[in-house]
Amino acid sequence: MAVVNIVLVVILLALVIQAVWSYFSVKKAAKLIDNAEFKEKMRNAQIIDVRDKATFDANHIMGARSFPTMTLKQTSGALRKDMPILLYDARRQQAGRAAVILKKQGFTDIYILKTGYDGWDGRTKAKKM
């Protein structure tokens, strides 16, 4: 029983360390911004939706381009390093991963929509049925 408890504590500790590491990696890679600041930056930035393509096709922020997180390493060459990047996903988890990927590839001006798409109150484009 004591061995099981030790193993559980080690697993829990590893999960906590991973969560803290992930939090600080994202914080170092990008700045979280609210809807108002996101709208201000949209005119002179690359708006990137990191959700899957089907979700993007159904509905997305006006002016956004689809770069799913799973393919971002291969497709990021289409992004400009001299322009800010505004990232969003449904609730922010994927956008954090995307920011870390882009930071490692030399992008420096990266922002994440704090509320994610689910909290967006600006203009959107929906697929016509």
φ, ψ of residue 32 to 5 degrees: the values are -80, 130
How does pLDDT run along the chain (129 residues), one tens digit per residue?
688 888 888 888 888 877 666 666 667 779 999 999 999 999 999 999 999 999 999 999 999 999 999 999 899 899 999 999 999 999 877 999 999 999 999 999 999 999 999 999 999 998 865
- What's 39's domain CATH number? 3.40.250.10
Number of domains observed in the structure of the chain: 1
Q: What is the pLDDT of residue 129?
A: 57
**55: exposed, middle or buried (Cβ count in 10 Å: 0-12, 13-18, 19+):** middle
Domain that holds residue 108: 2-126
Task: Report DSSP letters for 16-38, one per residue.
Answer: HHHHHHHHHHHHHH-EEE-HHHH
φ, ψ of residue 116 to 5 degrees: the values are 70, 180
Q: What is the pLDDT of residue 47?
A: 98
Q: How many Å apart are CA 1 and CA 7, to the nearest integer?
A: 10
Q: How many Å apart are CA 36 and CA 41, to the nearest integer?
A: 9
Phi-psi label, residue 92: left if phi above 0, alpha if psi -120 to 50, beta otherwise: left
